[in-house]
Structure 1
Amino acid sequence: MGIRDIIEGKKQWRAHVARVKALPPDYQIVYKEMQKYLFKVGPIDLVDGSLLTGILEFFEEGVAAGRGVLDLTGDDVAAFCDGLIKDSRTYADVYQESVSGKPGTAGK
């Protein structure tokens, strides 16, 4: 990764954060909590993937439709996040594989 890739990545992230800040306060709170949760337990390709952008677009559509954030996610936001990543490989999966000693894992 070159310096230009790093700079471009920062520009994209700052634009993403600006879009989050444009959301109503309740949406911002839920988005930030989802982001923290996904960074802790989420998929390995979270940063490179489009999950956070997809959530942001989903929230922007909810705002445009005049819906409350919990109308979109439900009361259990963590369960909503788990549903989004249910088929994704997570850091917890990698750890479990490394301690179980399965072939082809980090425990070689």
Structure 2
Amino acid sequence: MGIQDIIEGKKQWRAHLARVKALPPDYQIVYKEMQKYFFKVGPVALTEGNLLAEIVDFFEEGVAAGKGVLELIGTDVAAFCDDLIKDSRTYADIYQESVTAKRSTTDD
């Protein structure tokens, strides 16, 4: 990864954060909680895809439709997050697979 990639990544992240800040306060609070949750759980899709950007898209559509954030996602933020990543691998999964693979090679 070159310096230009890093600079471009920072520009994209700042633009993303500006979109989040443009959301109503209740949406911002829920977004930040979702972001913390995803950073803790570590879905691979978070770094390889556009999961957070897609959430902002979804929230912007909800705002445009005049809906409250809890109307969109329900009252259990963690359950909503889990449902979004239910088919995604997490870094914990990858770690567990590597530990299991090491055990099986040492058991041989």
TM-score by length of 1: 0.89
Does the alignment pair 1:92 with 2:88? no
User: 2:46 is paired with a residue of what secondary structure?
Assistant: coil
**1:44-63 alignment runs, 5 A limit:** 44-63=44-63
Q: Structure 1: 5+ residue runs without aligned partners?
A: 104-108
Q: Which has the higher contact order (CA 8 A, sep 6+)?
A: 2
| Bigger shift: residues 89-98 or 78-87 | 89-98
Q: Which protein has the bigger helix share?
A: 2
TM-score (norm 2): 0.89
Task: Tell me, yes or no, if the aligned pair for 2:37 and 2:78 is still in contact at 8 Å.
Answer: yes
Aligned residue for 1:83?
83
Larger radius of gyration, structure 1 or 2? 2
Identity %: 80
Give the CA deviation at 1:5: 0.6
Question: What is the aligned-residue RMSD (CA, Å)?
Answer: 1.7
Instruction: Judge conservation of contact 1:26–1:69 (CA < 8 Å) in 2.
Output: yes
- Report if the CA contact (8 A) 1:42-1:85 is conserved: no
Structure 2, unpaired ranges of 5+: 104-108
- Secondary structure, aligned partner of 2:66: coil
Amino acid of the structure 1 residue aligned with 2:28 = Q
Segments of 4+ in structure 1 off by > 4 A? Answer: none
